[in-house]
Structure 1
Amino acid sequence: MKTLKKRRRVQIILVSAVALVVATGLIGYALQDGINFFRAPSEVMAEPPKPSEVFRIGGLVEEGTLVRGQGEIISFSVTDGGASIPVTYAGVLPDLFEENQGMIGTGSYVDGVFEATEILAKHDETYMPKEVVDALKEQGVYVEPES
């Protein structure tokens, strides 16, 4: 016959394990919409994500594709040298946003167009996000900035 002390210890361990599983599940559920994975344009073309999936895309703003002035909608294409993805954005672009410069956008890929909700651009002349540099190096189009 088990003593009361041993029974109480087993109950505490079981309650702790259940609480840990429930807490882990709740944290995972809460973070589900807050995690945005980075994808290069080549990865998006190779394996298009679901329209409901929010992710980050990055690369260089393709020259000659930046179109402003159609109301609030701005459109351009982002490329990593291997593929080009059209992007639309409604809002104010960062001051340093321009063609042939690095950018990262957050949004969804719907009907062949990346619909951005946020656009980030480089913050000085030499900076480019690590993910963008890696994607450009993988495609063989990355050029080291001059010092």
Structure 2
Amino acid sequence: MTRRSRRLALIAVALAVIGFAAGIALYALRDNIVFFYSPSEVAEKAVQPGARLRIGGLVKADTLVKSSGQNVAFVVTDGAHELRVAYQGLLPDLFREGQGVVAEGVLAAPGELRAETILAKHDERYMPREVVDALKKQGRWQEGEASAK
């Protein structure tokens, strides 16, 4: 074997190893690459309690309950399914019922999320693109809906 052919073989093996490692990493992250899940996706995937995830959707009207201290509970919906969210802390100033929200936390029980972080829209017309896409996919989105209040 010549020096050139050994070098080419070494490069080929190195590229194969790097490709294999990248493939394994992407396979392991296939479910975690998503920015967030809608309540319907959480129900379809039958996510087990204790799983850490982000959910996104609309805060269902008349479900916001503020209790003692900074404890808050509300329901996030995508029109088809609902997920109860319990949160302890201050809500963002722009948090309102009927608006888009992303909550990050741990699934405490089927249909209930213990949120550690709440993200709300930043102006009157904004809703996370993924929430809009999920609502459009289910046929629940209507143009102008985000600005209606």
TM-score (norm 2): 0.75
- Alignment match, 2:72: 74
Counterpart Cα distance in 2 of 1:30 and 1:131: 22
- Alignment match, 2:114: 115
The gaps in structure 1 that reach 5 residues or longer are none
Counterpart Cα distance in 2 of 1:29 and 1:134: 24
Offset, 1:52:
4.2
Given that residues 81 and 140 in structure 1 are in contact (C-alpha distance below 8 angstroms), is that contact kept between their aligned partners in structure 2? no
- Alignment match, 2:82: 84
Deviation readout 1:119-145 (Å, 9 max, x if unpaired)? 111111111112212222344433432
Residue 117 of structure 1 aligns with an amino acid whose one-letter code is E
Name the % identity: 47
Once the two structures are superposed, the pairs formed by residues 30-69 of structure 1 within 5 Å of their partners are 35-69=33-67
Question: When the two structures are aligned, how many residues end up with a matched partner?
Answer: 145
Residue 99 of structure 1 aligns with an amino acid whose one-letter code is E
SS at match of 1:136: helix
Counterpart Cα distance in 2 of 1:23 and 1:134: 32
The gaps in structure 2 that reach 5 residues or longer are none
- Alignment match, 1:144: 143
SS at match of 1:85: strand
Counterpart among 101, 104, 108 of residue 103 in structure 1: 101
Runs of 4+ in 1 over 4 A off after TM superposition: 25-34
* Pairwise CA RMSD: 3.1
Higher gyration radius (CA): 1
Offset, 1:6:
2.6
Offset, 1:100:
1.3
